[in-house]
Amino acid sequence: MPALRIACALPDGINLPADEYGQDDPLPLIIDGGSAPSLLSVVAISPPFVLRRSQRVSTAVIAADGLDDEERDAFQFKAARRLLYRLNLLIRWYRAEMQATAIHELTLAQAGPFLFHKDPGGDLWGEFRASPVVVPALVSGSAKEALVRIRQGFASAQEPPVESLLFLDARQALYEGRFREAVLFCWSVIDGTFNQRFESLVKLRLGEEWKESREFLVSNDFGLRHKMGLGMRLAVGRSLFKEPDDFWSKLDRSYKSRNKIIHEGAIASEEDAHLAIWVAQRVVDIMKSL
């Protein structure tokens, strides 16, 4: 089985002594002081921000013998994710202790390329590059129509919809590797958009029901997911529990991720951030359609 070393580069602004980090770990991170010539020295992320690379971080990995192309790609992807997880843990500790507000966690695309060399100091064995994070623009209609809405909105002296601004914050947080913030921004969108529209629907569709029953449906005591399921079924005959594309399972996973962040201080992954944006957009689209 080939003994390999997977390496990527630290963003400029993190200045750590060349050393082993996580010495008790059987595969510690190794940080050296020089930039490897085969690594990018400048990597563009979301304009106009640029990450400049100076130090290399690496760890040992073992590949199985006789991997075909598909197995090799899967191995490199898994190893890159593992290194990124540990690198982001190191970055979070650096941010917390150095109070470095301008430094953020990295996505796979921002941290790459990930280079695999035969250990120690051997030939290049493989390379993994992830596609940049892309979240499509959410502008409805043409640019000309958007400009008309800008004029009208400004003339009204009212604030734009808060969910639009929170979506922008969530997407920017995803671009910058602030995955926890992306999840929390999205759940602020979900809480606000769903609850406001749900209350309006209950008043509209169940206006003749007992007032205390209506108030219980829209109260915090009934619970957000109960409202999305049974509450929506009672109010409009459409439960989010029955939405296609495995929606409820995805919503439930994102909801649990949100709770772990708030109540346990848990981290969030890039996948968690993407999922939260997808779930939030679906909730907004569904509630606006009713």
Taking CA atoms, 104 is separated from 51, 62, 85, 147, 189, in Å, by 11, 29, 13, 33, 23
Residue 156: count other Cβ atoms within 10 Å of its Cβ.
Answer: 9
At residue 33, the pLDDT reads: 66
**What is the separation of C-alpha 214 from the centre of its chain, rounded to a whole number of angstroms?**
36
Asked whether the predicted pLDDT for residue 44 surpasses 80, the reply is no
The full DSSP string for 103-129 is: -----HHHH--EEEEETTT--EEEEE-
Short-list 202, 160, 187, 171, CA closest to 260: 187
At residue 46, the pLDDT reads: 38
Confidence at 114, pLDDT banded by 50, 70, 90? very high
Establish whether the linkage from the previous residue to 244 is cis, with ω within 30° of 0: no
Domain boundaries, the chain: 3-128, 143-289
At residue 102, the pLDDT reads: 80
pLDDT tens digits, residue range 238-260?
Answer: 999 999 999 999 999 999 999 99
Establish whether the linkage from the previous residue to 113 is cis, with ω within 30° of 0: yes
pLDDT tens digits, residue range 68-104?
Answer: 989 999 999 999 999 998 898 888 888 888 888 788 8
pTM: 0.66
Average pLDDT of the chain to the nearest whole number: 83
pLDDT tens digits, residue range 189-237?
Answer: 999 899 888 888 888 888 777 878 778 877 878 888 988 998 888 888 8
At residue 52, the pLDDT reads: 44
Distance between CA atoms of 140 and 148, rounded to whole angstroms?
Answer: 12
